[in-house]
Structures are given as structure tokens and as C-alpha cells.
Structure 1
Amino acid sequence: MKNKTFYLVGGGTSGHVNPALSIAEVMQEKYPESRIVFFVTETGVEYEMIKNAGFPCIVIEASRLPSSVNDFFSFLKASRSGYKSCIDAIKKDRPVAIIGTGGFVCAPLLLAAMRLKVPYLIHEQNAFPGKANRFFAKKVKAVCISFESSREHFNTEAPIHLTGNPVRKIFFDKNPVNARQELEVSSDKFLVLMMGGSLGATSINQAVLDLFKKGIWQSLKKEYPELMFVMSTGERNYDSLRNKLASFETEDFLIKSYLDSTTWLPASDLFIGRAGASSCFEAAATATPAIFIPFQYAADNHQFFNAKSFADQRAAIMIEDKDINAQVLADQIVYLIENRRLMYEMSKKAKSLSMPDAALHIVEILDQVIDLKQE
């Protein structure tokens, strides 16, 4: 497909951007002579991520739905400006098709696509779809979903395809033995990896603080000397937690501001963290048993539904945010150490949910959308 242009849009959080990047990489291979352009906001997380990946960008204005009357006029102004920019871009480039991966940044471009009759498809990462994807599904050519349970939430006549959530190839390719060698972690260690994230991790961080300050971890280590605990705090929380926990650090308890999950996840026996779609499917890709603690203030409580979907299929354990504390955390770790067969079954089931060809499947559906346009 020579000299054709495709548009991609999705942002607001990295969970919307990473799938779009995975899809774009497959498109580059399939359509090497075509142009793939991302639409971004200048202040959004997507701007740097897309720029660093080397794809051309068109910067537009977009705004979240207003939460108050005072925000309404700013929203209206940004929406109007962004919509006009998208109309102008479409008239100039005449894209073959558009892919949206969710988030408020999608709105101006997909509204313009609807007006100018450019075919588009959407991909939904979460078990409970976001507002933008639910709205734009009404006129879409195809909907791609990551969780079977999200199908019922779309009011559309378009076909709905279960594709899974695109995850970078390296998560599937990394061997656990090699990962441990890279990290210099002994094969006899039971490695617990906790990634609370930079936002909304207060309850998780407090549970870890109490785990050590109340002596619970020390008791666990006496009974299970093979235990190793590694925690990624995110830049925002690192200094505070590091200062409070520095005296407890040993070679079997490490605190990091950032960890390369492409190596640490496959090296781990157990992952503990939030239940964003990326976290869920990266753990699935590496077949890592997981305890998901959904962030209760996530939009539409979507993390709860993600975690519940995995837990209902026995691919993970879910602990609600209101229930998490040091003792609950310790009890779950002990429960899994004592039930290796259960961990094996969780690992096996999680792997079955990973769908390594998700991005390719989405691009194949895109081919069908293009064919419909050309008929």
C-alpha cells in the first residue's frame, strides 16, 4: 500500500499510548511505504512517548470533559480548536483509515473522521470501556477489545473483535532464567516484585511500610529465608519511602525509583501492583502470577473490572484497595508460597490470556476496514 497515510490517536495515560505504539510498529512492517501519523496534545503523556518512538506527530488541542462550570469554556475552546485542526489535516492528507485507542485526546480527530466519513476503528484496553470509546463506537467500522467482558458495554452495530491488549514483543521473548542472570538474582530466591506506580499508591505504600515497621517481614524471612522483595516506587514517592525504609534494606529487600519491567517481571515469582490494562497483560505475557490491587479512583473504576476479570478466570488474585494492609499482604504471600501448584495454574491461565499477536490481529482487522472503504 504505497504512499498512503494512516492516523493513530490515543492518550492521557500511557495505557492508551503503548497499545497504539505496538499497533504502529506492526503497521510499519506491513505497510513500509505508508505514512503513520500520531495526533497528540502538547502537554499530554503521549507527546514525549510518541516523539521518542520516532513517529511524526500533529499537535492538537483537546481537553477532558469539564468537572465544573468554570472548566466548561476552556473545554469548549480546546475542543473547537482541536476539531478544526483535525478537519484541516484530514482534508490535506486524506488518510486511508484512523485507529483510536481511547482517552480524551481521541475526541477531536474521531469527530472529524465522522464528519468527513473517514473509516476508523477503536481499541479498548480495559474490561469496562472508557467514555470516549463508548461514544465513538456508535459510528465505528470495528471495535477491538482486550477483555471479553467489555463486549456488552458497547452499543454498536459494528463487529466487535476480541484481540487482547498489544504488549511489546520483549515481554514474550524474555527468558526467566536469563532475566535472573541479568539481574544477578539467585535461582533459589522467591522474588516478589511490587510496583505501586507513581500515582494513587498510598494504600500500597502504607502496607509495605507497616510490613517492615511492625516486624511482619522479619517474621516471614525467618520462616521463608528464600523470600526476596523488590519495590518500584516511581519518582514521586521514592525519596519519602526510601528515607522511611532505608534501615531495613538488605540484599533481599530493595527499593528502586524505577525498574525495567521487561526484565524484572519475567524474573519474578509473584507480581503485586495496580490493575491497569498494561500491568495485567504484561504480567500475562510473562506468565507471572499476580496479586492485583485495583486503584479505586480510576476512571469508571475500570481497574476493578480488569482485576476481577483475571481473578474470575483464576489468572490472578484481587485484593480491593479498601482491604489492603500489611497483614493481608503477608498472608497472601504465604498462601502462594505454600501453594506452588496454585501458582503454576495461575501462571498457565495468565499466559493463555496474553494474546501475543494482538497488534497483528488489530492490523488485520484494519485491512478489512480499508477493503470496506474501497468497495
Structure 2
Amino acid sequence: MSSKLHIVLAAGGTGGHMMPAEAVSDVLTGHDHDVLLITDSRGDAIRNAMVDANRHVLKASSHMGGGLAAKVGSLYSVIKSTLQVRALFNKRRPAVVVGFGGYPSLPVVLAARSLGVPYVLHEQNAVLGRVNRLMAENARVLALSLEHSQRVPKAAYTEVTGNPVRHLISKLSNIAYSVPFGFGDIRLLVIGGSQGARILSDVVPAALASLPEDLRSRIEITHQARDEDVERVKAAYAASGIAHTVQSYFDDVGALLLRCQLVICRSGASTVAELSAMGRPAIMVPLAIAADDHQSANAGVIERAGGGWVMQEENFTQETLSEKLQLLLTDPSMLRDASDAMRGIACLDAAERLAAIIESVALEEAEA
């Protein structure tokens, strides 16, 4: 498509919404379109996604739960933000609005619908999120990451695009997986989402400490922990004699994935998409309080494909993790097969597919 478009992307709250938005933004700006990100304060604070994008930060609260007072406050927040976005669109009307789910996309999509601006939605998870469920029937296209996504309204028009991953990740996807054979290092990566995960910091160091010496001495671990947990996790690894790097934030997760041989992680949508693209086997611990238990659904897709293993929080203990690690690390063929299975379900051109849909919607609108 040759004409320059003004396209608005609505994403925020978590890296799971921001990462695919960044991937699509890169494609669209590469096609010489003008892209504006509308996000909230949490999305604006994520340090490694869309850092150079033109953005508008919603000032209203993103709290969506709680009792009656909180619900009234949330309704007021949505109305206030929707009016704010309508004023923005009246100054410069977008060709298309793209919602990536989560709080920031709701007022943006509501504003688009009220002004007759076409909108596209993208769902990253195996279970459709609440905002996307609410707005799906009037979307020009509901783009799905997975073919058999749950809770999709029957009247919604859907296309399967996959979940866009950042350009750096897709560039690294062809590099071969290194199986930990023999007596060499075993490189593990622990990541818990954009802010780490307490349960991983509680369980993983103790499980590694209980491994037999011949395995434990070979392990080199990189661990993302919450700020308040970093020092105690470092101390636990040091006491066990395990080579370790522990930080609350890593700039280049792609490089860490490239180097590691097994990942222990949550199962947010962007995490599993990047694992699939890179072909990295994983032990996944779904966040138990995730809305609609979507992390379990995400992890289940990976496990059924043979790319990883699911351990629910209630079963994720020092003993069960130690047993699982001994099994995997003494039979490298299991890791190799899981790596192959991960690559088999990757969708490396998802960003291009979604960008093509966005451009097509804009063209149809212009010709209507």
C-alpha cells in the first residue's frame, strides 16, 4: 500500500500487550505509515518496548476490579479516557485503530467506534480477554494468535495471524539449539514476566541446590527476580555453589534465550511466542490469578505440542521441580525434541500478517 496512513495502536499494562504492538509498529513504520501508541502509565513505564514510539498516555486510572466503589471509579475512568481519546481523534482522525487488549484499548476502541473509525483487535492469549470479548463483534477483524482460541463471540470475524514477536527475536530464530550433552555447562534461564515472579525465586534456587553434585556443578543460571528478592536469590545460589546472574531487569532477553538450553517461566502470551520462535524448551508455571486462567491455556497449547512442561503453582515445589530437572537434564533428547516441537508451532511472520490486515482495512475504508 503506497499512501501514508495514520494508525493508532492501543496497548499497555503488561509487556504481553506491548511487545506485539511494537512488532507490528516496526512493520507499519517500515511501510512509511505514521504510528501513534496510546497506552496507560503502566505501559509507559515498560522500559524495553516501543521506547521510541510517538505516544499518548491516558491519565485516567487503569483499576478495573474491587468492590462497588472501585467499579464506579473504573466506569468513570473509562468514560473520561474515551472522551479524551475522542478529542484526540477529532484533531487527527486515524485510518485504523488497533487494540491489543487490556485496559488502554477499551476507551480507544470505544472512541473509534463512536466516531465511525474502523478498528482491528488482536488477541495474544489462548482465551479471549475481557475487553476483546466486549468489542469483538464490531471489529473489522479479530486477529487470533491461536486457531482454537476460547471465548470468541460467534458473530466476530476472525483471522489467525499468530502472535507477533519483535524483529530481534525473529532474526535469531534460525540459530540452532545447543543440546546440553556430556559434561559441559547446562544453561538455565528463569524469567517471570516484566517484574519477575516471587514463586520462581522461592522454589528454583532450593530445587537446584538439591540436585546431585554432578548436575549442580554444571549449571549456570540467569534469573530475573523482583527487586526485593534479588539479594536473597543471589545468596541462595552462592551457598549452593551455582554459577549465577541475578537481576531484576535484563535489556536483551533475546540474547539470553539464544544462549540458554532450558527456560523456567510464567506462560504469558509474549513469553510463549518468543520461546516458540527461538525453539527453547520450557517448564511453565502459569500465574494462578491470571484472568480466565489464560496462562494455563497458553501453557497447555505448548505442552500438547510437545514444546514444554506445565507445573501448576500448587504443584510447583522444590521436590517436584528437582525431580523434573533431573529427568530432563539426564536425557538431553527430551530437550532436543521439545526444541523441535517449539519451532514447529512458531509463527514468525505474524507481525507482517497483522500489518497486512490493518492496511487492507484502511484500503477498504478509503474505497467505501
The alignment's TM-score, normalised by the length of structure 1, stands at 0.88
Structure 1: which amino acid aligns with 2:198? T
Structure 2: which amino acid aligns with 1:171? I
Change (3 A) 1:291 1:244: closer
Once residues 262 and 223 of structure 1 are traced to their aligned partners in structure 2, the CA distance between those partners, rounded to angstroms, is 26
Q: 2:177·2:261 contact (CA, 8 Å) conserved in 1?
A: no
Does 2:245 correspond to 1:216? no
Displacement after TM superposition at 1:359 (Å): 0.5
Q: 2:81·2:107 contact (CA, 8 Å) conserved in 1?
A: yes
Q: 1:62·1:104 contact (CA, 8 Å) conserved in 2?
A: no
Structure 2: which amino acid aligns with 1:255? V
Q: 1:176·1:267 contact (CA, 8 Å) conserved in 2?
A: no
**1:170-225 deviation line (CA, Å, top 9, x unaligned):** 22333898999xxxxx993221222234657333222124325xx513x2x32575
Does 2:364 correspond to 1:363? no
**1:324-356 deviation line (CA, Å, top 9, x unaligned):** 111211211121223333322211111122211
Runs of 4+ more than 6 Å apart = 175-180
Structure 2: which amino acid aligns with 1:112? A
Give the alignment partner of residue 338 of structure 2, picking from 346, 355, 366. Answer: 346
Structure 2: which amino acid aligns with 1:286? M
Change (3 A) 1:232 1:62: closer
Corresponding residue SS for 2:267 = coil
Once residues 190 and 138 of structure 1 are traced to their aligned partners in structure 2, the CA distance between those partners, rounded to angstroms, is 48
Displacement after TM superposition at 1:3 (Å): 4.7
Once residues 327 and 313 of structure 1 are traced to their aligned partners in structure 2, the CA distance between those partners, rounded to angstroms, is 26
Show the counterpart of 2:234.
Answer: 242
Show the counterpart of 2:292.
Answer: 300
Show the counterpart of 1:157.
Answer: 155
Show the counterpart of 2:132.
Answer: 133
Displacement after TM superposition at 1:247 (Å): 2.8
Displacement after TM superposition at 1:93 (Å): 1.0
Does 2:262 correspond to 1:270? yes
Once residues 128 and 44 of structure 1 are traced to their aligned partners in structure 2, the CA distance between those partners, rounded to angstroms, is 22
Displacement after TM superposition at 1:125 (Å): 0.7
Corresponding residue SS for 1:279 = helix
**1:220-258 deviation line (CA, Å, top 9, x unaligned):** x325753333322143421332344443344x3443333
Once residues 46 and 280 of structure 2 are traced to their aligned partners in structure 1, the CA distance between those partners, rounded to angstroms, is 29
Change (3 A) 1:177 1:306: closer
Change (3 A) 1:59 1:207: closer
Once residues 329 and 65 of structure 2 are traced to their aligned partners in structure 1, the CA distance between those partners, rounded to angstroms, is 47
Show the counterpart of 1:114.
Answer: 113
Change (3 A) 1:236 1:141: farther
Displacement after TM superposition at 1:65 (Å): 2.5
Show the counterpart of 1:191.
Answer: 187
Q: 1:171·1:266 contact (CA, 8 Å) conserved in 2?
A: no
Show the counterpart of 1:57.
Answer: 55
**1:258-278 deviation line (CA, Å, top 9, x unaligned):** 343211111111111111111
Does 2:9 correspond to 1:8? yes
Change (3 A) 1:371 1:350: same
Change (3 A) 1:347 1:104: same
Once residues 68 and 340 of structure 1 are traced to their aligned partners in structure 2, the CA distance between those partners, rounded to angstroms, is 50
Corresponding residue SS for 1:239 = helix
Change (3 A) 1:307 1:178: closer
Q: 1:198·1:233 contact (CA, 8 Å) conserved in 2?
A: no
The alignment's TM-score, normalised by the length of structure 2, stands at 0.89
Q: 1:149·1:309 contact (CA, 8 Å) conserved in 2?
A: no
Displacement after TM superposition at 1:12 (Å): 1.1
Does 2:98 correspond to 1:104? no
Structure 2: which amino acid aligns with 1:108? P
Show the counterpart of 1:183.
Answer: none
Structure 2: which amino acid aligns with 1:123? H
> Which shows bigger deviation, 308-317 or 164-173?
164-173
Show the counterpart of 1:281.
Answer: 273
Fraction of identical pairs, as percent = 23
Show the counterpart of 1:39.
Answer: 38
Corresponding residue SS for 2:9 = strand
Give the alignment partner of residue 257 of structure 1, picking from 243, 248, 252. Answer: 248
Does 2:81 correspond to 1:82? yes
Q: 1:266·1:287 contact (CA, 8 Å) conserved in 2?
A: no
Give the alignment partner of residue 310 of structure 1, picking from 277, 295, 302. Answer: 302
Structure 2: which amino acid aligns with 1:205? S
Q: 2:14·2:43 contact (CA, 8 Å) conserved in 1?
A: yes
Once residues 227 and 143 of structure 1 are traced to their aligned partners in structure 2, the CA distance between those partners, rounded to angstroms, is 43
Displacement after TM superposition at 1:2 (Å): 3.8
Change (3 A) 1:9 1:280: same
Once residues 315 and 45 of structure 1 are traced to their aligned partners in structure 2, the CA distance between those partners, rounded to angstroms, is 30
Corresponding residue SS for 2:184 = coil
Once residues 202 and 48 of structure 2 are traced to their aligned partners in structure 1, the CA distance between those partners, rounded to angstroms, is 34
Structure 1 residues without counterparts, runs of 5 or longer: 181-185
Corresponding residue SS for 2:148 = helix
Change (3 A) 1:171 1:35: closer
- Residues 13-32 of structure 1 correspond to what in structure 2 (within 5 A)? 13-30=14-31, 32=32
Aligned residues: 361
Once residues 304 and 19 of structure 1 are traced to their aligned partners in structure 2, the CA distance between those partners, rounded to angstroms, is 20
Structure 2 residues without counterparts, runs of 5 or longer: none
Change (3 A) 1:344 1:82: same
Displacement after TM superposition at 1:156 (Å): 4.4
Structure 2: which amino acid aligns with 1:21? E
Corresponding residue SS for 1:147 = coil
Q: 1:147·1:162 contact (CA, 8 Å) conserved in 2?
A: yes
